[in-house]
Chains A and B, each alone.
Chain A
Amino acid sequence: MRIGVVTFPGSLDDRDAQRAIRLAGGEPVALWHGSHDLDGVEAIVLPGGFSYGDYLRCGAIAARSPIMSEVISAAEAGMPVLGICNGFQILVEAHLLPGGLIRNDHGDFICRDQVLRVENASTAWTNGFTVGQEITVPLKNGEGGFIASPSELERLEGEGLVAFRYVGVNPNGSLDDIAGLTNARGNVVGLMPHPEHASEVGFGPDTPAAMRSGVDGLTFFTSVLQHTLARV
């Protein structure tokens, strides 16, 4: 299965996302922000980083780049799209997911191994998890505070669109401890933490078993392979 990873000017984790896709058994395909060509991919990852230097607002300029018109059409047609960190911010700015992301309430950039609770395990990117499962993936951002109006928040909670919640520590002031969202169809998922950084033993978060052995993030990528196989 071919999974595209879009590189924007200022993307940092595009190669890490490609590596995670390969480790999960997929074929990563590099896509370029300035192109209108999705190169026949069956799913898309918008990676982390600081596209356009976070100018204007995080993700705002990338959300209006040439390839995003194709990504938006594909997402609306049901193609799986995962936004990680800056990719989540891009999805929000592109109106593929609701709400907004603002500067962390304490004002500091934060980098830590973060425990998350899976709240929705029926999306294209989370079907390999179980609801209530706790996973650990790295979190690293300065503007990860999720906000939405009270009525929007009520709708998100009521419709089960919260995909992940922070456990133990709320690292950035996100309302309702929201770490990630899905759309109603379950094909578009965005989250601030970085599953691609927890996909290979030796390079992931610490676990009780061994240092840097956490690979909980790999399930995002095996989930999308499973989702696509199940549809064929």
Chain B
Amino acid sequence: MPTIVVEVMPKAELLDPAGKAVASALHRLGDTPFTAVRIGKRFELTVEGEVTDAVLAKARTLADEMLSNSVIEDVVSVEVAP
């Protein structure tokens, strides 16, 4: 069955304390080229039947209205998994 993947990230201007905690742990591990970590969410929606434009539109609405909160997060992608 096809899958639609929705990705949600905390807004860039907001503190991401969980990401910061992971970043500081990385730095404690020593030599790292990574300067920052941000943590978001990935949702996999299993679709019964074909992914039509209407189904994709429904996933986008769901992503905006329930899977994310626009005050604190941005939906960064809604795509059919290859």
A residues engaging B (CB < 8 A)? Answer: 56-57, 60, 64, 92-93, 98-100, 102-107, 145, 147-149, 173
Contact = CB atoms under 8 A, between A and B. Distances in A.
B66 A107 contact: no
B18 A107 contact: yes
Interface of B: 10, 14-15, 17-18, 20-21, 66-67, 69, 71-72
Nearest to B65: A64
A60 B15 CA distance: 20
Contacts of A102: 10, 14-15, 17, 72
Contacts of A107: 17-18, 20-21
Nearest to A149: B71
A60 B69 contact: yes
Contacts of A149: 71
B17 A56 contact: no
Contact of A105 (B10, B17, B66, B69): B17
Contacts of A98: 71
A57 B69 contact: yes
B71 A64 contact: no
B22 to A, nearest CB: 10
Nearest to A93: B69
Contact of A106 (B14, B17, B66, B69): B17
A149 B18 CA distance: 21
Contacts of B21: 107
A103 B17 contact: yes
Given A102-B72, A107-B17, 4 more contacts: A100-B69, A102-B10, A102-B14, A107-B21
Contacts of A147: 14, 71-72
